[in-house]
Amino acid sequence: MEVDGSYLLARTLKEEGVEHLFFLMGGPNYEIVNNSEDFGIKTIDFRHEQAAAMAAHGYARVTGKPGVTTAASGPGTLNLLTGQYVAWADCAPMITLGGAGPISDFGRDGFQEVDQISVFEPISKAVMRPTDPARYPEHVSAAFRIATSGRPGPVYIDCNEDVLYGKVEEADAVAPSRSASNARPAGDPELIKNAVKMLAEAKSPMVFAGGGVWWSQAYDELRQLVERMGIPFYTSPMSRGLLPDDHEMSFPAARSGAFQKADVVLIAGTRLNWMMTFGSRIAPGSKIIQIDIHGAELGHNRSIDIGIEGDAKSVLRQMVDEAERTGFESKAKSPWIESLRAADLERRERVAPLENSEQRPIHPLRLCKELREVMDRDAILAVDGNEILHYGRQSVPTFVPGHRLNSGPSGCMGVGLPYALGAKIAKPSKQVVALHGDGSLGLNIQDFDTAVRHNLPIVIVVSNNEGWTARVEGIRKPGRELGFTRFDKVAEALGGHGELVEDPKDIRPALERAFDAGVPAIVNVRTDPTARALSRFVGSKME
């Protein structure tokens, strides 16, 4: 049977287990979408390509599988770029199918001609440009293998018009090569022994875990290690929920002190990047054990004592087994644990007055407190902003792996609503919440319409402080003031549920009505413009 490249591409997506395709219509990718639908893949069209890419990323974060997105040539594909960058910075697997003009027109000033390969290459784990339609199965299958193996990341495929519509016999298409499962490289046994010995001899050890633990699905091994050794744990912001925030070894409000007082820090699957002030958040005299599947990451930005290259699931399993073999004495009742518990309690008591404040405009911590008391334990929460991002980090817990989404190391604004859409598509039975600042919500508000059209009843909660960042007396912030945007009216105009809240006592009833509405909802809460969360980047373009 004679088929075209679009058919072979879509067939391979189906064979790779793709269930959803995120897109905005346009040429030359029409037939990718049509064929995908014919193969039973659900397609979700967006109002802006950036939101489609971010939703695909959110989908990947929740499912652990690559999100797949496609867009029209030129401007359409370039609009995917920010979403691709965020996934690249976050080391998240994604497959981006960029529409492109015919190869035969290259160098002739063809319609929407731009070297998309060169544009995407710096922010992709790999880039591809198939030139023969018969090779789409080979290229697409390889893209999935690359995106999900080792350190994950997004792969870009340039989909040129003359290749997509080129005809071949289906029997002549190149058969893809697939692996039944990804390799899980183990750590050097001698290094494992040394690492466990170092933790056993420590007085105040801690674990710092991140995305590598999530992508390797190693949260059960992390739990076993933490519980067997009696060691407190912390996670990177995007990895909240690897273990429940109310776990007996979790002391989130004592985080800063723990990093400064720990004598041994086990870093599992996360980077010492700017979010960790390049390693300086850890006390200078602390010993560091680092686990990472990407060998170049070991010792990057900060010298370490033991570097273990390997898959987090395999290495943590080795460490648990070694602890059992050596009779590791649990530190669960040590003075170290008691000091963290006391510091955590003291911090919670200190912020309690703000969490229960009756002030108007409403303090963001009161909003966070009301939200956490209404949310389901297994709710998926996306947080997007500056002040509210930091307040949410301090006061809204997560209890399930893969159920916390935020801007990650890119610090990108506008991700909250699209992440929530991707999460709801991935887990339609789960409660999905986007906790937004008003500035960040404005960046992709048009895709609230996507939520309505596709019947995705997410709840967006807006901490509306009338601008970007907090208003600080005596500090000039050009462009800070946005006025009070009636996002609740926007929700109503687009066919959703909207509520305005100005009194603290009205927050909870409004949230409950939003969750019960059965349609996408926005709860627009007027919060204190002068409430200023702790942030290293005061005055930056964040909301």
As to burial, measured by CB atoms within 10 angstroms (0-12 exposed, 13-18 middle, 19+ buried), residue 190 is: exposed
Instruction: Label residue 408 by pLDDT band (50, 70, 90).
Output: confident
Q: Dihedrals φ, ψ of 288, to 5°? A: -125, 130
Mean pLDDT of 171-182: 79
pTM of the model: 0.94
Per-residue pLDDT of 82-119, as tens digits, reads 999 999 999 999 999 999 999 988 888 877 789 999 99
Architecture of domain 2-172: 3-Layer(aba) Sandwich (3.40)
Residue 1 has pLDDT above 80, yes or no: yes
Per-residue pLDDT of 363-402, as tens digits, reads 999 999 999 999 999 999 999 999 999 999 889 999 999 9
Mean pLDDT of 526-543: 62
The residues of the chain that CATH labels 3.40.50.970 are 2-172, 356-526
- Measured CA to CA, the distance from residue 346 to residue 450 in angstroms comes to 44
Per-residue pLDDT of 316-364, as tens digits, reads 999 999 999 999 999 999 999 999 999 999 999 999 999 999 999 999 9
- Report the pLDDT value the prediction gives residue 259, as an integer from 0 to 100: 93
Q: In percent, how much of the chain has pLDDT > 70?
A: 98
Residue 238 has pLDDT above 50, yes or no: yes
The residues of the chain that CATH labels 3.40.50.1220 are 189-340
- Measured CA to CA, the distance from residue 262 to residue 239 in angstroms comes to 21
Q: How many CB atoms lie within 10 A of CB 431?
A: 19
- Measured CA to CA, the distance from residue 286 to residue 265 in angstroms comes to 7
Nearest to 154, CA basis, from 182, 116, 128: 128
Q: How many CB atoms lie within 10 A of CB 198?
A: 18
- Report the pLDDT value the prediction gives residue 538, as an integer from 0 to 100: 33
Mean pLDDT of 65-80: 97
- Report the pLDDT value the prediction gives residue 536, as an integer from 0 to 100: 39
- Report the pLDDT value the prediction gives residue 278, as an integer from 0 to 100: 85
- Report the pLDDT value the prediction gives residue 277, as an integer from 0 to 100: 80
- Report the pLDDT value the prediction gives residue 181, as an integer from 0 to 100: 67
- Beta-sheet pairing, 2-4 with 167-169: antiparallel
Fold of domain 356-526: Rossmann fold (3.40.50)
Fold of domain 189-340: Rossmann fold (3.40.50)
Per-residue pLDDT of 130-167, as tens digits, reads 999 999 999 999 999 999 999 999 999 999 999 999 99
Residue 539 has pLDDT above 50, yes or no: no
Per-residue pLDDT of 421-473, as tens digits, reads 999 999 999 999 999 999 999 999 999 999 999 999 999 999 999 999 888 88
Instruction: Label residue 309 by pLDDT band (50, 70, 90).
Output: very high
- Measured CA to CA, the distance from residue 109 to residue 543 in angstroms comes to 40
Does an H or E element contain 460, and which?
Answer: strand 459-464
Per-residue pLDDT of 459-491, as tens digits, reads 999 999 999 988 888 888 898 899 999 999 999
Mean pLDDT of 165-190: 86
Q: Where are the alpha helices (DSSP H) in 25-176?
A: 30-38, 49-63, 75-78, 81-89, 116-120, 136-148, 161-164
Instruction: Report how far apart, in Å, the C-alpha atoms of 327 and of each of 169, 230, 268, 443 are.
Output: 63, 13, 22, 54
Q: 459 pairs with which residues across the strands?
A: 433, 521
- Measured CA to CA, the distance from residue 465 to residue 502 in angstroms comes to 11
Residue 540 has pLDDT above 70, yes or no: no
Does an H or E element contain 65, and which?
Answer: none
C-beta of residue 241 within 8 angstroms of C-beta of residue 180 = no
Quote the mean pLDDT of the chain: 93
